[in-house]
């Protein structure tokens, strides 16, 4: 009987610890506003880049979208993120295009978002930077932009400082970058990007 009581207490303590960790993580998230074009109007220089989910189409006729290729681009659709990254001003999904090219030391990446029917038209937001290589989950952002609803030339710019010891998706670290290549009969690909950005001044 005593063993059962001790087991119940241990399980309860473990559950309480998990709940505390989860609550602490949620509280930390609430410290920072979501990334968008109006962060500069607030008091925080850090914002949450809530994970954007990108569904990418094939790169060409019967040509799968593969980030493993040294250079390439794919069009697609963004969702699950706030305005203007994954949602337009009228709450529709955004069109997007990812372009990458490789030099000897790293892979330059730009993800551009638009409200037009075609990717690459009327770009209203982007993430531009580099990853160390095709299999890396570390997306260092050198310039991110979020446009106001009505002004193509105005909005907030951001970057990731990549502080020592901070991992992908953590405050101060690069964005978390998860690219799933297209293959087989599914020639498209999927990409998830999320973490924290710092406001440029």
Give the three-class secondary structure for 138.
strand
Regarding predicted confidence, which is higher, 174 or 121? 174
Q: Which domain holds residue 77?
A: 34-199
Whether 87 and 184 share a structural domain: yes
Regarding predicted confidence, which is higher, 96 or 110? 110
Structure token pair of residue 109 = 């990446």
Average pLDDT over residues 86-106: 82
Whether 100 and 78 share a structural domain: yes
Number of domains comprising the chain:
2
Question: Which pTM was predicted?
Answer: 0.79
List, for residues 36-56, the tens digit of each pLDDT value: 999 999 999 999 998 888 888
pLDDT band, residue 151 (cuts 50/70/90): low
Whether 140 and 122 share a structural domain: yes
User: For the range 163-169, what are the long-range contacts, defined as Cβ-Cβ under 8 Å and sequence gap of 24 or more?
Assistant: 168/137, 168/138, 168/139, 168/195, 169/194, 169/195, 169/196
Secondary structure letter of residue 53 according to DSSP? E
Whether 93 and 118 share a structural domain: yes
57/63 Cα distance (integer angstroms): 10
Whether 117 and 51 share a structural domain: yes
Structure token pair of residue 73 = 């681009």
List, for residues 2-34, the tens digit of each pLDDT value: 444 433 334 344 444 434 434 444 555 678 999
Give the three-class secondary structure for 198.
strand
Whether 164 and 183 share a structural domain: yes
Whether 25 and 96 share a structural domain: no
Whether 14 and 57 share a structural domain: no
Whether 187 and 113 share a structural domain: yes
Whether 15 and 38 share a structural domain: no
195/177 Cα distance (integer angstroms): 9
Whether 14 and 97 share a structural domain: no
């Amino acid at each position: 009987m005593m063993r059962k009581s001790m087991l119940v207490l241990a399980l309860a303590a473990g559950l309480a610890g998990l709940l505390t960790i989860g609550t602490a993580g949620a509280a930390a998230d609430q410290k920072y506003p979501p990334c968008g074009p109006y962060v500069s109007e607030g008091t925080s220089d850090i914002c949450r880049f809530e994970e954007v989910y990108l569904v990418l189409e094939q790169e060409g006729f019967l040509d799968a979208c593969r980030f493993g290729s040294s250079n390439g681009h794919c069009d697609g659709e963004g969702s699950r993120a706030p305005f203007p990254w994954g949602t337009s001003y009228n709450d529709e999904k955004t069109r997007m295009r990812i372009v990458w090219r490789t030099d000897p030391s790293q892979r330059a990446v730009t993800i551009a978002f638009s409200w037009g029917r075609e990717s690459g038209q009327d770009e209203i937001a982007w993430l531009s930077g580099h990853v160390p290589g095709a299999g890396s989950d570390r997306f260092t952002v050198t310039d991110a932009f979020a446009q106001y609803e009505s002004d193509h030339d105005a909005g907030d710019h951001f970057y990731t400082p990549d502080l020592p010891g901070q991992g992908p998706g953590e405050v101060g670290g690069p964005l978390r970058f998860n690219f799933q290549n297209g293959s087989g009969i599914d020639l498209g690909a999927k990409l998830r990007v999320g973490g924290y950005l710092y406001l440029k001044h």
